[in-house]
């Protein structure tokens, strides 16, 4: 599966650049509640890890983008640009 994600990222001209940018956004905006990467062992909430979110059967780029576009239950008020949402979605899906 990781090979398929890597190939998909390489096929997109911005995909390879978006995953690191998304990881940076995840650290800045999300890691207080979610475990966002492999080196993080705890978070302050019962929110699912990004790896768990990525592994859900219904998780797609479209579903993540829609969710991040309309706001987020119990999240601090923040708005991501389309480019930031794309980067975060790319990063989350890269964790499959």
Cα angle 85, 74, 23 (rounded to 5 degrees) comes to 35
Q: What is the pLDDT of residue 27?
A: 93
> Does residue 75 surpass a pLDDT of 70?
no
Any idea which fold 2-94 has?
Cytochrome Bc1 Complex; Chain D, domain 2 (1.10.760)
Half-sphere exposure of residue 3: CA atoms within 13 angstroms, side-chain side: 0
Q: pTM of the full predicted structure?
A: 0.78
Residue entry with tokens 């219904």? 58
Domain residue ranges of the chain, discontinuous segments joined by +: 2-94
Dump pLDDT digits (tens) for 7-61. Answer: 344 444 445 578 999 999 999 989 988 999 988 988 887 889 999 999 999 999 9
């Amino acid at each position: 599966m990781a090979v398929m994600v890597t190939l998909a990222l390489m096929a997109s001209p911005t995909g390879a650049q978006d995953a690191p940018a998304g990881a940076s956004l995840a650290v800045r905006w999300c890691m207080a509640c979610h475990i966002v990467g492999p080196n993080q062992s705890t978070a302050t909430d019962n929110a699912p890890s990004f790896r768990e979110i990525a592994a859900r059967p219904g998780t797609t780029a479209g579903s993540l983008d829609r969710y991040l576009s309309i706001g987020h239950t119990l999240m601090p008020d923040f708005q991501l640009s389309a480019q930031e949402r794309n980067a975060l979605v790319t990063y989350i899906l890269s964790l499959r």
